[in-house]
Chain A
Amino acid sequence: MRLDARQFNLLAIAILVALAAHAPHLPLWIIAAMAFVLGARWLQRARRADLGAVPIWVRLPLTLALPAAVVAQYGNLFGREPGSVLAVGMLVLKFTESEKPRDARAAVTFACFVLMAALLFDQSLVMSGFVALALLPQIILLRALEPRDDLALKPAAATLADLRRGVPQAAFAVLGAAPLALVAFLFLPRLGEPLWGAPSPDQGRTGISDTMTPGGLAELIADDSPAFRVTFDAPAPPPPTQRYWRGLVMYHFDGTEWTHMPSPPVRDASPRFEALSAPLSYEIVLEPTQQRWLFALDLPLAAPNGAYRNAEFTLVNEKPVMDVTPYRVSSALRYRHDTLARHERQLALSLPAGYNPRLRALAAEWRSRYGEDREIVQAALALYNARFSYTLNPPPLGRDSMDDFMFETRSGYCEHFSSSFTFLMRAAGIPARVVVGYQGGYWNALGGYMVVRQSDAHAWSEIWQDGQGWVRVDPTAAVSPERVNLGSRAANAADAPWHGPEWLLALRNQWDIVNQLWNKVVVQFNALHQQNLLAQFGVDHAQWRSLAIALGAGSIVLVTLAMLWALRRDRDPGDAVDRAYRRLNRRLARAGAPRDEAEGPEAYLQRLRQRFPQAAREIEAVFARYVALRYASAQPDPAAARAFAVAVATLRVG
């Protein structure tokens, strides 16, 4: 038995959606090539079905080209990306040889696997929703493979008819299976340790990196995806000017690039700073960064589990953050450092020789003119404020980039300002360093949390002041106060057309709540949540055994319910007259005179006459209609049946 045109069309759709699920992360040319093969095969089958499967002399080169293409693109055959290309490619190749229902079933099986593989790249709500929808064509195809006798329609019309009829059926199947799926999902024991290696890092994502060059953050600022979300223990978030999420501290400057050098963990409990304000506690849910650093407001008082604090009091995770990772931190927003170690002071004053002579000269002049460090800082900030402008599209800079920036172009954004300011301070003999992280965050009042986006990436400076320790100075704020007060969005509005209008932002922030919920409830669900779930039912320390019991019990309940559904008898809905008569019976039963199971209309009417003497005439009229419709003719007149239904609806009993 061969696939007919209708089944073949449905197969094409089923494979196409599986391909589409991988489109976001596959190179364009590979997607295009696969779509071409898919389309060519579909055309061939639609035009010349008699030719059968694509001959081996076409399929064999295609089969060999697939691994070649993977190697050409990725350099090897193994790993997550190459694997997904191979899987999708094999599915498309299966399509070229699909002629029988058996082939179609094999393709559906494999398409389900390919759809799952798409979720390994993107666990977001959108992708998960797409994959769930992509199941519908698979289900519709499987149904269409069962024998049917209504094949009179043309292929295209039959395909559409199948889809129209199949979508509700398939949706019913998916929704009906959802409770059982949920129970299985909740109680399926999770693996403590992976059986084989976790997927390779995802290079595609951008995030803050451990080097900073002028212009390097521009790409990040264009990225509007969430970096992390924060919920505070306090009801209100800190004010915008205090939302400095420190990530990396950079000491080393080679003339063009600031570099972060990993510093050793500070294991001893003794704090080297004094907290001057009450600790602020909050939880951060960090999106995957493939990097080890974590973010926290100012100085975290302790490191969360699985992470440590380093000498600069930034947080470092022990493993790269591959998944959405939650962690709790308490921070001091006001603090005083004790002392600056000698080597730290050296690091914080070092400058590459032979760069930016004019800036060095300016620093020397200021040093001789002003006695106090504070005055030098003031002078620098006043200079920024008076002469500089904030833009995301600064003019290019030459070899002495800081000289060019300070004396020629005078426009730029956070990286330029923090970089030049730090350079200037060091040249003037004030220990200074660059800090990279995020500044700001959108407070989602509806969801009660703050979302910090990649576009909030920021760089600022810290200078050492004896008696105070490291003090944050944000030169960008001197140029563009709204960058700090109103956030990156307000500051970049002129340069950043990718930020939509206000209402779009509101919509996006509400959408973010849903994503946040999805992340919290589904993506981050793990063995610990599982145990908490069972703990509510009095099971502490849920092990495989108790999980298996919960899984079994839940499944049995749901499967029993489903079996009751399956075993239920079909009620004969009857015709319109029957339905109206049943309705009449229900109304009379509510009025206090239910009909006996075996009571005929005449006997019932007798009883009703006595029960409702005042409405006897109306009731008699309705019953007369019923008797005439049901017993006087074999086929009741539709108009009379409708009139009877109306009479039932308008009858007033007692």
Chain B
Amino acid sequence: MALAAAWRARRLRLVAFAERRLPALTHLRRPEALPIRLHQRRIYVLPTLFGGVFGAMLSVMALGALNYGNNPALLLTCLLGSIAFLSVLGGYRALDGLTLRGVHAAPVFAGDALQVELHFDPGNRAREALRAQLEDATVAFATARATPTRVVVGLPTQRRGLVALPRVRLWTSWPYGLFRPWSWLNPQVRLLVYPRPETFGPPPPESARDAGPRHLRESGDEYGSLREYRETDARRMIAWKASARLDRLVVREPEQIAGRELVFDFAALEGLDHEARIARLARWVLAAEEQHRPYTLATPNERLGPDVGTAHRHRCLEALALLP
């Protein structure tokens, strides 16, 4: 174990040194635009620990064969050495020409892991035993010929806001685990992380105003309290007549909920610090969404709503995430 750790530390130092010295490597530290295609100038190869041990064993074998003047044994050693050496090319071919087409991740709350989807295009080549590494998480995958492949890697988050995707290390030890060709990808991708909602706190404040929806009803808009059907809605809430007319399922909002409006105002939350306000607002947004009640979010920059639904929820949480 200690040997492995020492080897690992040494390898990391060597890699760091190589990256300092090799201009082709350092320029890879800058973000690049997608798609990123791997080619020979950005694929690097070093032997693995196993490769080093195997090489040492080959030297011992060669020495023994030479000492005894045993030609078949020497031939065997040469054959093994050639197989081992040429396996570099197999590993290299697994990476060469691989293209990263896109990176997507659904936003998560700070503290949860982003499920980063990497979309690879393998070109006209089947590739085996590839590994995508994002920080500490590694995912193994293989690609069939001419079949775009999606790889999901977890990326832990700590803070809300836009997170620059860290460099992706793409490597393989195919075919024998003797060598490790690798390449760094630094796609110019920023991923959104929602603020973490507070765990406990007061319920959403009920507004004194009573305007919006009722106003709509008064103006005679019959559909004002109708909204799209959601899977969680009870059947009895479906407005069948209206659904038939509109050719899609709509539900009638219960009168008392549709009648009142929620307003979450950043400025109104006095006595809390900046992040605590954001956390509370995030919780309120989620709570309102749970009850399907329209709500308005007022941040120092903008005012969103009143509205309810996935898109609105995303807009609000994004606005909170991007607050300074």
Contacts and interface: CB of A to CB of B under 8 A. Distances in A.
Contact of A522 (B57, B75, B174): B75
A566 interface: yes
Contact of A523 (B58, B72, B89): B72
Interface stretch (B17-25, B63-71, B254-262): B63-71
B81 A184 contact: yes
A180 B85 CA distance: 10
A135 interface: yes
A45 to B, nearest CB: 22
Contact of B128 (A101, A139, A148, A522): A148
A173 B86 CA distance: 8
Contacts of B7: none
Nearest to A118: B73
A109 B52 CA distance: 11
A127 B72 contact: yes
Contacts of B57: 109-110, 112-113
Interface stretch (A188-196, A598-606, A614-622): A188-196
Contact of B79 (A106, A147, A177, A573): A177
B175 A143 contact: yes
Contacts of B97: 569-570
Given A177-B82, A191-B69, 14 more contacts: A101-B177, A112-B58, A116-B61, A120-B73, A123-B73, A128-B75, A139-B83, A149-B141, A174-B83, A177-B85, A199-B68, A522-B71, A562-B89, A571-B124
B66 A191 contact: yes
A120 B80 contact: no
Contacts of A115: 76
B48 to A, nearest CB: 9
A266 to B, nearest CB: 30
Contact of B142 (A110, A113, A139, A148): A148
Interface string A163-191: 00000000001101110111011001011
A181 B75 contact: yes
Interface in B158-208: 173-178
A188 B66 CA distance: 9
B67 A105 contact: no
B296 interface: no
A565 interface: yes
Contacts of B129: 146-148
B74 interface: yes
B298 interface: no
Interface of A: 101-102, 105-106, 109-110, 112-113, 115-116, 119-120, 123, 127-128, 131-132, 135, 139, 142-143, 145-149, 173-174, 176-178, 180-182, 184-185, 188, 190-191, 194-196, 198-199, 323, 522-526, 559, 562-563, 565-567, 569-573
B53 interface: yes
B62 interface: yes
B140 interface: yes
Contact of B76 (A110, A119, A173): A119
Contacts of A185: 71, 74-75, 78
B72 A566 contact: no
B72 A522 contact: yes
B223 interface: no
Contact of A190 (B61, B66, B140): B66
Contact of A196 (B67, B125, B128): B67
B229 interface: no
B61 A188 contact: no
B79 A188 contact: no
A110 B53 CA distance: 10
Contacts of A116: 61, 64-65, 73, 76-77
A554 to B, nearest CB: 12
A185 B83 CA distance: 14
A195 B70 contact: no
Nearest to A146: B129
